[in-house]
Amino acid sequence: MMFRLIVFAILISIVFCVSVSAQRRDYMTDAEIELVRDAQEIDLRIGVLTGAVDRRLAVLNNQPVKDSDDWGPAPTGTRLQLLSDVQKLLDKAISDIDNVAEKNRDSKLFPKAVRALAGSCSQYDTKLRILLDATTEQKEKGVILGALNLCSQVREAAAQLPPDPAKDEKIDKNKKTKND
């Protein structure tokens, strides 16, 4: 009887250890999750998600990332984990924009969010290509190429948007001011 209890206890501890080690790391910090949760408007949410990407790219490039009350401590993880975070954050931004498009395509915030993400993706393209050239790890290359593909999709989608009326108004105002 005692032998069975010992074997049972060992099996339980093995199962518990396996389940704990199988837990996955979240691609956002707790503070970032709260910021995303608070940013209900899509343009604000994209700003939070791109801020999270910027923080990871800074860590990957050995640039200082300040801890803050809002954003919390700098993201941590292996190089592959941080690169994977970047890809997942970009994918989340795209998914969130797609959700807005499905629900309310006429939203004034939809094109603003797409353009903001496309602008950030243009900057990420350069940074990601530098990281791609510097790595020899195939898994890292795959993740970087995935993130670059997402950035390309965002820029292509932004190119399909109608012209920005707010931008046209600014151009018209500048022309009127110069002509006066």
The parent domain of residue 94 ranges over 18-179
Is 103's pLDDT higher than 50?
yes
Q: Is 63 domain-assigned? A: yes
CA dihedral defined by 156, 160, 166, 167, rounded to 10 degrees?
A: 60
Is 20's pLDDT higher than 50?
no
Q: Is 161 domain-assigned? A: yes
pLDDT digits (tens, 9 = 90+) for 138-166: 999 999 999 999 999 999 999 999 887 76
pLDDT digits (tens, 9 = 90+) for 61-81: 999 998 888 999 999 999 999
pLDDT at 106: 75
Q: Is 126 domain-assigned? A: yes
What's the chain's average pLDDT? 85
The mean pLDDT value for 88-114 works out to 91
pLDDT at 101: 87
Q: Is 96 domain-assigned? A: yes
Q: How far is the C-alpha of 38 from the C-alpha of 36, rounded, in Å? A: 5
Q: Is 136 domain-assigned? A: yes
Q: Is 110 domain-assigned? A: yes
How many domains in the chain?
A: 1
pTM score = 0.80
Q: Is 9 domain-assigned? A: no
Q: Is 22 domain-assigned? A: yes
Percent of the chain with pLDDT over 90: 67
